[in-house]
Homo-oligomer: A and B are copies of this chain.
Amino acid sequence: MSETRLDVLAIGDAVVDVIATASDDFLIEERLTKGSMQVLDADGAAALYAKMRQARETSGGSAANTMAGVAALGGWAGFVGQVADDQLGEIFAHDISALGVEFLTPAKADGEPTGRCLILVTPDAQRTMNTFRGAAHELSVEALDAEQIRGAAILYLEAYLWRSAGPRGAMEEAMRIAHEAGRKVAFTLSDIACIKPHRAEMIAMLDAGAIDLLFANENEIMELADLPTTDAAIAALQDKVPLIVVTCGSEGAVAVERGRRVSAPIARIGKGVVDTTGAGDLFAAGFLVGQARGKDLAESLRIGAIAAAEVISHFGARPESDLKALIAA
């Protein structure tokens, strides 16, 4: 097995977040479920945007946020995602590159505009996400760089993008290349809404041995296993995946590797919880860096918990403090 050049290479949604405050009444009028993530087409996105308040824009995407975290932790990260040749695409490419994440995917000159996620923040600080995937779901096998995939210790895939048929084809090819090169493949279940319509295919993917490391929260793992408790869900899935990591909100996280169970409490940084956006993304970043650098489960969980604690201590889904110093402390 040749040496790796990257710790983690992610394939995910390349989207720009468009964030505005909204009232609870607005969510009711628009029939949006608070805290959920829904997918909009171009017309639906335009209609919702027209009703939104003044917004601010930042680069986002769950797996992209995770790669931002890997880079902030001192890891070598890469990201594969499709943007269009437009201003939002330029912003996305600028931001992820500025964080030190390798981003080689060429912008698409034709087709849909760069994807965006319209985020409504209610007075209780909850976020309701409405994604127009645009160019992001036009990702195809042609966007892959086989050398880049072979050079990454871990390939990290998100269910948000996987549920779209075209990108799933690209992900399947990337998994094949990664495994052929002796690399690990990690997969995050992303959101409960990604699972139900695709449960059978997801289980088949796990049964085929395609996934070495599965990330989920409690709701997601129960939904995938179709079982009412986290423990039962882990028990049902652990023969299919060598390593399962489940985040349990304020109760920390648990990792189960071939029957061995290790858990870790949450960490606390600064003022505590200001905005929980990005907690799961950054937890995954920390755990992935630990695994890529040969740390044991307990230490990987600890790095994940600290990275998650940092991102929830301020507004925004990408790290702002020196994560390397926090881990060393």
Contact = CB atoms under 8 A, between A and B. Distances in A.
A94 B55 contact: yes
A71 to B, nearest CB: 10
Contacts of A53: 98-99
Interface stretch (A83-91, A148-156, A263-271): A83-91
Nearest to A90: B49
A113 interface: yes
A95 interface: yes
A310 to B, nearest CB: 15
B57 A57 contact: yes
A126 interface: no
Nearest to A58: B56
Interface in A78-112: 86-88, 91, 94-96, 98-99
A113 B95 contact: no
Interface of A, secondary structure class, is: mixed
A224 to B, nearest CB: 33
Given A86-B86, A87-B87, A99 B54 contact: yes
Contact of A56 (B49, B56, B88): B56
Contacts of A318: 54
Interface in A267-294: none
Contacts of A114: 87
A59 interface: yes
A88 to B, nearest CB: 5
Nearest to A95: B54
A52 B91 contact: no
A117 B53 CA distance: 21
A50 interface: yes
A99 B56 CA distance: 13
B113 A87 contact: yes
Interface of A: 20, 49-50, 52-59, 68, 86-88, 91, 94-96, 98-99, 113-114, 318
Given A53-B98, A54-B59, A56-B58, 10 more contacts: A52-B94, A54-B95, A54-B96, A55-B91, A55-B95, A55-B98, A57-B57, A57-B91, A86-B86, A87-B113
A-B complex: 7 closest residue pairs judged by Cβ atoms: A57-B57, A54-B95, A87-B87, A56-B58, A54-B98, A53-B98, A87-B88
